Amino acid sequence: MYGRAVRRLALLLGLLVLGGCRPRDEGLTLVEAPSVAPADIDARPLGLLPRGALVLGRLEGRALFGSPLASATGTLVRRVLPLGRESNFDAARDVERVHGAFYAMQGADFCAVLQGSFDVASIERAAEARATTSTGAPLVRTRYAGRTLYTAGNLGFVVLTPRTLLSGDETGLRRALDRLRSGKLEVELPGWMTATLAEPKAAFAVVGDLERNGVTRAAADHARFVDGLSTLRILGNFEPPGVHVVGALGYRGPDEATKARLSLEEFQQMSALASIFTAFAGVIPPRLDVTMNGRELAFASAVDTGFLQVVLATASAAIRPSNAGW
């Protein structure tokens, strides 16, 4: 029962990403590339992310890698960032903050901006010398927009400065480099999004404007609480028992919010039943405390470490460079 629930969650996330329309291809209107100073690149991570994101997030690396989730997260990082010890790269040591986004451009695409302290010379030297990655996929070097991309299958990275790396699938990376080449790193987000992402007390934050991309229609048949969902806000930290999360789901109107609340209550009943079978394995499905206010559902949850480790392991297994990403 629990394995089925994880698979349904993965399917739902895939539908949310694949259900949207494609954002404008910024690479079609580019002219001669202006130069962007490294200091400007380091100062504007959100500006590097392509437009049209379905979901955006910010993560504090020190908080994550200081938690019990460090090992499972390290495995996931090695999947999306094909760097080994010869690169003098250690995510737990080097990554201070990550800004990332999911898209529906050529499929389920993503791009992330990693910031911290990176040994550029060692990374480039190791990438040049490396024939294959830890996943077995060959590491390929290509040039685009005046930058060098290193990809394994459809996943890779670009070194921008000693403090900033790009990671993602090839489509996400190229669109980010198009923005950098255009020299226009303006952040074009609603105020509520930028305020949520900048919340100083949160170790991570997630926002989404789902209605404008029409992504919820594709997922509503699989999770009824998604029907009519328009906005998403999540804040959290990595305190015991694993992760504390608060947030809000915004709907088109009170009727959709009411239906979503009833759907979540049914889901809670299923989770309570599943916990009887999974608690013996140390994996406890999270429980949501939900309150309704007009067209918005506010929620809070404490997610068990064991549950999150299973989710991260499932995500790591789903990311295979040989199958074009996800």
| Local confidence pLDDT in tens for the 326 residues of the chain | 444 444 444 444 444 444 444 444 444 433 444 578 999 999 999 999 999 898 999 999 999 999 988 888 887 787 777 776 778 888 899 999 999 999 877 777 899 999 999 999 988 888 777 655 656 667 788 999 999 998 887 888 999 999 999 999 999 999 999 999 998 898 889 999 999 999 999 999 999 988 765 565 655 555 677 788 899 999 999 988 789 999 999 998 999 999 888 888 877 765 554 554 444 445 566 778 899 999 999 999 888 887 788 777 777 776 655 444 43
109-116/139-144 β-pairing: unpaired
- The packing angle between helices 2-18 and 305-318, to 10°, is 60
Contact 63, 237 (CB under 8 A): yes
Q: Which amino acid, residue 6?
A: V
Whole-number Cα distances in Å, 67 to 205, 243, 261: 17, 9, 32
pLDDT of residue 27: 43
- Which stretches of the chain are DSSP H helices? 2-18, 38-43, 45-48, 61-65, 70-80, 91-94, 120-129, 170-182, 191-197, 216-219, 254-278, 305-318
Token pair for residue 197?
């992402």
Whole-number Cα distances in Å, 253 to 30, 144, 210, 284: 40, 45, 14, 33
pLDDT of residue 235: 97
pLDDT of residue 296: 95
pLDDT of residue 320: 57
288 by DSSP, 3-state: which? coil
Cα end-to-end distance, the chain, whole Å:
23
Going by C-alpha positions, the residue among 136, 152, 64 that lies closest to residue 100 is: 64
